[in-house]
Chain A
């Protein structure tokens, strides 16, 4: 890998662009309007094309105004078709942005003699060439960095200025309206921010990959935190990280297979996706690993209690010890879980092992008695209040016994005998 000043600037521009997108993007994700970002970034194209046709120059200000106007028009039309035409929101967006995008493509083909913009640029952007487009003062800063940097600052400023308005209108628009905030004003301000950000990012990463910058880092952050402010910090951090990983992998990974490199903008989008995948799996809130761990630990908890219950009932009938295989058969679960359960219980000094046979210790006998007491009290309770077949009582009580707290047990009463005729162990 050879790294040069050009690569540094590519990463800086990419990071500025991605961070700038993350701010409106996070609000869009929270409001469940992510696809509005998709629609608006598509309609940047007709905005730019119209601005070209009217002014005849590539004046950035005209481009910005053109795109923001068309972006707002998109937001307005989507709303109008949805409410006036009784069309579902998704379909309404689909209709508006495809038609406007098609219009932009036709305009571009028609104006191909006057302007130097081609569909490829729409797709890839031109971040690789951004370094060569220097600012007029000759400070050595590429124009892309200035444009995206200014956009990031503007977004940051607006966000901080309207922090509480954005927060309240995102989570409870009705309350916001009742309290005198203007949800529709905030809506159109967000749309303006989105459109302006999309046009600034357009030259860098192209009109479709902007969507990745808008949606993916905020969605990733959403998986990682429950706090509003933290989500924005994380989203910005993740988008900068994605920009760095994206460019580095764009110039390294293909070389392992003998290719020279690939599209940086595309790789940045893939990098955001990769970060999302990582968060999806390892998020401490509800990532897949955490979910699996919860499931596993709950099952283990139940198995441990079932072991105690089985051993206690055994003693009730005069037998004292069991093989692990017999236990797993009695509980109806895998030997593996029983083995782990037994080991944990042994460590807690609740069961003891003599040769291959397991039995309860004194301490374990107490715990097991409480559990069986809950079970049998539940059977009494259910039999009394929800009369049913006596055999079904056991199934319901089997579930309830694991979630019964001591306070609940007290409220279940003081019966001496369960509906099957077994003694209820005394409360200790």
Chain B
């Protein structure tokens, strides 16, 4: 375990090395969160994966060219330009395969990804044999090698992050349009194709910059995971951009800190794992479409439906009686529930003051419960009447349909139905009540 002193040293960024890595990956995380949001909404997640794999031959080719012309083969800028060019070639090849063959996107992505990666491995092996210049560090781009970052790299990442933030702010509206309604955009006269190309160029830039710290196999994770996590916290685009950038930034920071503190923790994979952790948290606990919230809404709805069903059953059993009292058995007779369920539901609604149990063992609808039950029954029967009158469905077949719709009838709709059917009181049930035997 790292000592407290170590932790403080890392957190306060005292070491030059830690400072460079932490600031660099934080900038990268923010930039990729921003671009990744649009990439995710545009459904291009795996195109970015192919793009990042396609950069490998670019790195090798750039190295060979630089060595051949007598420069230092390790110039980062040169290597990244090579990577960028091949990344773009990869995307073009995917588009070419998709438009001129009958193969679909998935196969096109797989072909480009694996073949160009294979080409990259071949070229790297050859590059290591070049007489001048050592290619030993080149394979560091595959899994990332954050520890080798220097101040200038962190500055590059910072500059890229700021420029991407600027471009995103500037093109925020246009890219949103591109993601949600491309055709409408082109009808409105926006240069949709150029906007799309610009987005992919931004993705390529972020990927290329990410090569050094997280590596090309995992670069796509930095792009999509923060954006996908952010989606569970908001459904609006601006908050989503901010959330994705923050999640990316935070994951970068945590990842760099953990890898500095714990021995033998490669930075890139750790950052991706922390991104993954964010995703799991958001997936489960996010307020928009998160697992918990969805289960809870469903449970809530089910309860409301059960409550309305028992109310209607009670009312229909007592229909026409002077005193609204009934036995459990009579409810069991009209519904397909067993006795235990009926008693459980009765106890639940009695807490809401809808019914009371009489000393004789019979149940009595309270005045409040009677009114509420009457409302539910009315909705049910109005819908039945509507189906019979306007949808031409046989009276014996409307019960089930009305069963589903009665819970979601709003006040406006009920008013409309009343007008349409000319019904102010509770209509008679059009069919026999109870389980037909």
Contact = CB atoms under 8 A, between A and B. Distances in A.
B411 interface: no
B118 A268 contact: yes
B137 to A, nearest CB: 14
A258 B46 CA distance: 38
B272 A102 contact: yes
A266 B49 contact: no
Interface stretch (A119-127, A308-316, A358-366): A119-127
Interface in B217-269: 217-218, 220-221, 224-225, 228, 231-232, 264-266, 268-269
Contacts of B116: 273
A140 interface: no
A84 B280 CA distance: 12
B224 A211 contact: no
Interface in A85-135: 85-88, 90-91, 93-95, 98-99, 101-103, 105-106, 109-110, 112, 119-120, 123-124
B113 interface: yes
A260 B118 contact: no
A259 B101 CA distance: 36
A145 interface: no
A84 B289 CA distance: 8
A29 interface: yes
Contacts of A34: 106-107, 109-110
Contacts of A219: 103, 107, 110-111
A35 B110 contact: yes
Contacts of B101: 223, 280, 286
Scoring A33, A35, A288, A291 by chain B CB atoms within 10 A of each residue's CB, the highest score goes to A35
A208 B264 contact: no
B46 A85 contact: no
Contact of A102 (B48, B114, B270): B270
A198 interface: no
B283 interface: yes
B273 A215 contact: no
A254 interface: yes
A276 B107 CA distance: 12
A37 interface: yes
Nearest to A29: B107
Given A94-B45, A94-B220, A260-B129, A273 B122 contact: no
Contacts of B97: 280
B45 A91 contact: yes
Contacts of A250: 122
A396 to B, nearest CB: 26
A269 B118 contact: yes
A112 B266 CA distance: 12
B224 A35 contact: no
A32 interface: yes
A379 interface: no
A202 interface: no
A69 to B, nearest CB: 19
B102 interface: yes
B118 A254 contact: no
B183 interface: no
Given A84-B291, A101-B217, A93 B276 contact: no
B43 A259 contact: no
B228 A95 contact: yes
Given A34-B106, A112-B264, A266-B118, A276 B111 contact: yes
B46 A273 contact: no
Contacts of A32: 104, 106-107
What is the predominant secondary structure among interface residues of chain A facing chain B? helix
B110 A37 contact: yes
Given A29-B107, A105-B143, A262 B126 contact: yes
B40 interface: yes
Contacts of B48: 94
B413 interface: no
Contact of B264 (A110, A120, A286): A110
B53 interface: yes
Contact of B118 (A102, A110, A270): A270
A254 B126 contact: yes
Given A37-B110, A88-B43, A119-B143, A265 B272 contact: no
Scoring B142, B218, B268, B269 by chain A CB atoms within 10 A of each residue's CB, the highest score goes to B269
B114 A103 contact: no
B118 A212 contact: yes
Contacts of A269: 114-115, 117-119, 121
Contact of A85 (B43, B110, B225, B289): B289
B370 interface: no
Scoring A81, A87, A99 by chain B CB atoms within 10 A of each residue's CB, the highest score goes to A99
Contacts of A370: none
Given A85-B289, A94-B221, A98-B225, A266 B119 contact: yes
B225 A273 contact: no
A190 to B, nearest CB: 15
Contacts of B40: 88, 91
A88 B41 CA distance: 9
Scoring A214, A259, A267, A270 by chain B CB atoms within 10 A of each residue's CB, the highest score goes to A270
Contacts of B142: 119, 123
Scoring B115, B119, B129, B291 by chain A CB atoms within 10 A of each residue's CB, the highest score goes to B115
A15 interface: no
Given A87-B228, A219-B111, A260-B129, A270 B103 contact: no
A38 interface: yes
Contact of B113 (A91, A211, A291): A211
Contacts of A90: 43-46
Interface string A193-229: 0000000000000001101101110010011000000
B115 A212 contact: yes
A35 B46 contact: yes
A273 to B, nearest CB: 3
B424 interface: no
Given A35-B110, A91-B40, A273-B119, A99 B53 contact: no
Nearest to B49: A94
A35 B113 CA distance: 10
A148 interface: no
A269 B111 CA distance: 10
Contacts of A33: 106
Contacts of B102: 222-223, 286
Contacts of A267: 118, 122
A250 B102 CA distance: 31
30 contacts: A34-B107, A35-B109, A37-B110, A38-B110, A88-B43, A95-B224, A95-B225, A95-B228, A95-B276, A98-B217, A102-B221, A102-B269, A103-B273, A103-B276, A109-B264, A119-B142, A208-B217, A209-B117, A211-B110, A211-B113, A212-B111, A222-B102, A223-B102, A259-B129, A263-B124, A268-B118, A269-B118, A276-B111, A280-B97, A288-B100
Given A211-B110, A262-B125, 17 more contacts: A34-B110, A37-B110, A84-B291, A94-B45, A94-B46, A94-B48, A94-B224, A95-B276, A101-B218, A105-B143, A112-B264, A120-B139, A209-B117, A223-B103, A259-B129, A266-B120, A266-B121
Pairs A-B, 5 closest by C-beta atoms? A269-B118, A273-B115, A99-B276, A266-B121, A212-B114
